[in-house]
Amino acid sequence: MPINYIYSEYEIVRNSDRCINCRACENQCANEAHYFAEGSENTLCDDSKCVNCHRCVSLCPTHALKIIKNGNTYKDNANWSDRTINELYRQASSGGVLLSGMGNPENYPVYFDKLLLNASQVTNPSIDPLREPMETKVSLGSRPGEIERDEKGCIKNNLPPQLSLSMPVMFSAMSYGSISYNAHESLARAAQELGILYNTGEGGLHEDFYKYGGNTIVQIASGRFGVHPQYLSSGAAIEIKMGQGAKPGIGGHLPGTKIVGDVSRTRMIPEGCDAISPAPHHDIYSIEDLRQLVYSLKEVTEYKKPVIVKIAAVHNVSAIASGIARSGADIIAIDGFRGGTGAAPTRIRDNVGIPIELALASVDQRLRDEGIRGNVSVVIGGSVRSSADIVKAVALGADCVYIGTAALLALGCHLCRTCHSGKCNWGIATQMPTLTKRMNPDIGYKRLVNLLTAWKHEIKEMMGGMGINSIESLKGNRLMLRGVGLNEKELEILGIKHAGG
């Protein structure tokens, strides 16, 4: 008998008047929280196995199930929360590092929720997107300093390669391996239909998906899994992943249990072998090394692909971004501390990095102060949850946003934050064939298209309200933002005024 029995955080409540013992819940739960004992009259459950993913709740034909937070509690303590105590007990018994999935759930400020948008009144007409053109198209890439003309005086097209997107959104890096084949297919097809891009993450590109190359960003990270010349040339852009918002400063670890079949082939590593990405790139110990990798990749791809450098939002992010902007990168991607992950040490996820809104504001201003903001594009991610977040991010200075968690939610994810278990009941963050088949890419891609189509409408409505009919005119337009409940310092960093001012 352990001295620190940890009561389950959630409790499965079954309405026995409704339950028909069809055992659907039992079949659906990979965690085996539900069971039907022979000879018993009722389906039973083991709360301790429940991760609160809502698969059973959603599929129960008689709506007999619900999951509630259980009321069991330690003695109230504002300093020692139940969660803190339980985590301590776990570590005391296991000696291990705590692991978590998805983004930082802790109660830090969400600055997007403290920003409010403007609208036109009297002096300037709002524009109705149903009647007038409303442009959301963006181009990402670097720009030359000067224009050039031919002998006849015509402007020569001296632009480096650009990424053209129908709206300022891309699907952020999620590797094949961390998520399933079907999830990847959904993202790729949706990106193609929407005229945007998705990102392979550090897992290589499955041979079936080369056909979506025009809508694919291929990533190269510290483990270099799945990287070869054809891979680099097959996408629309190459992303060097230096860091990730969910776990700045550390690498990645895909357990051997997920390295099966095609995942192993695509990553170019043996089956069952853990895929460990080192914390740093071992050929990049400083900024001058980064420059060499950027140009190595450009050489391999004959300067036809823009290179993105992705970093986590950390304390001196603006100085780092400035260095990257001068290192040949065409696009800088910044990932905030709320960004998701398949697995991260809990303490890292919950305590390292800074909010993306502040990182974005300071990077954008720093690059402007140095006069180089126009040379590169800036993409941000790390919990962009809605079209309003996108509009606010663009007004703060982003060219485009990455969405990861939001896309997974559209695919069925219920944010149970146990991706690291590999037993995703929704068929997303798993490689178990019985589970992956639950995610139908024909439906999945359509739901992603629906989500972003809806967001695009909303973005247009908000822009029209502000009297802006092109997204370029929203970019960095901080007068369109006001803060609520922010202190002077926060307003200064965000470069905005307080509401009413």
Partner 1 sequence: MQQEGQVRIPSGCAISGVLDKTGRRMSGETIIKSISVMHDRSNGLGGGFAAYGIYPEYKDYYAMHIFYNSVQTKRNCEEFLEKHFDIINLSKIPTRKVKEITDEPLIWRYFVAPMPTKLSESQLNEREFVAKCVFRVNTQIEGAYVFSSGKNMGVFKAVGYPEDVGRFYRLEEYEGYCFTAHGRYPTNTPGWWGGAHPFALLDYSVVHNGEISSYDANRRAIEMHGYKCTLLTDTEVITYIVDYLHRKKGLGFDEIASVVAAPFWQTIKSMPPKEREIHEYLRVMFSEQLITGPFSILVGFEGGMMALNDRLKLRSMVVGESGDTVYVASEEAAIRIIQPGLDRIWAPKGGQPVIVCLNGGGE
What is the contact surface with partner 1 in residues (CB under 8 A)? 120, 122-125, 127, 132-133, 135, 137, 139, 143-144, 146-147, 149, 154-155, 157, 159, 162, 368, 371, 373-374, 466-470, 472-480
- The backbone region for 190, taken as left when phi is positive above 0, alpha when psi lies in -120 to 50, beta otherwise, is alpha
SS3 362: helix
CB of 130 to partner 1, least distance (A): 14
Residue 97 or 159 having the CB closest to partner 1: 159
Contact indicator for 436, 427 with CB cutoff of 8 Å: yes
| Assigned token pair, 343 | 């697995």
Residue 54 or 475 having the CB closest to partner 1: 475
Q: 136: which strand partners?
A: none
Residue 256 or 467 having the CB closest to partner 1: 467
Residue 326 or 368 having the CB closest to partner 1: 368
CB of 456 to partner 1, least distance (A): 14
Q: Which residues of 63-82 are buried (b: 16+ CB within 10 A; e: fewer)?
A: ebbebeeeeeeeeeeeeeeb
- Cα(484)–Cα(490) distance, rounded to whole angstroms? 11
SS3 22: coil
CB of 127 to partner 1, least distance (A): 7
Contact indicator for 467, 479 with CB cutoff of 8 Å: no
CB of 218 to partner 1, least distance (A): 23
Residues contacting 467, CB < 8 A, separation 6+: 120, 124, 125, 126, 127
Contact indicator for 194, 454 with CB cutoff of 8 Å: no
CB of 331 to partner 1, least distance (A): 14
Residue 3 or 155 having the CB closest to partner 1: 155
Residue 47 or 135 having the CB closest to partner 1: 135
CB of 303 to partner 1, least distance (A): 17
| Assigned token pair, 268 | 């170019």
Residue 11 or 472 having the CB closest to partner 1: 472
CB of 375 to partner 1, least distance (A): 10
First to last CA, the chain: 62
Q: 344: which strand partners?
A: 100
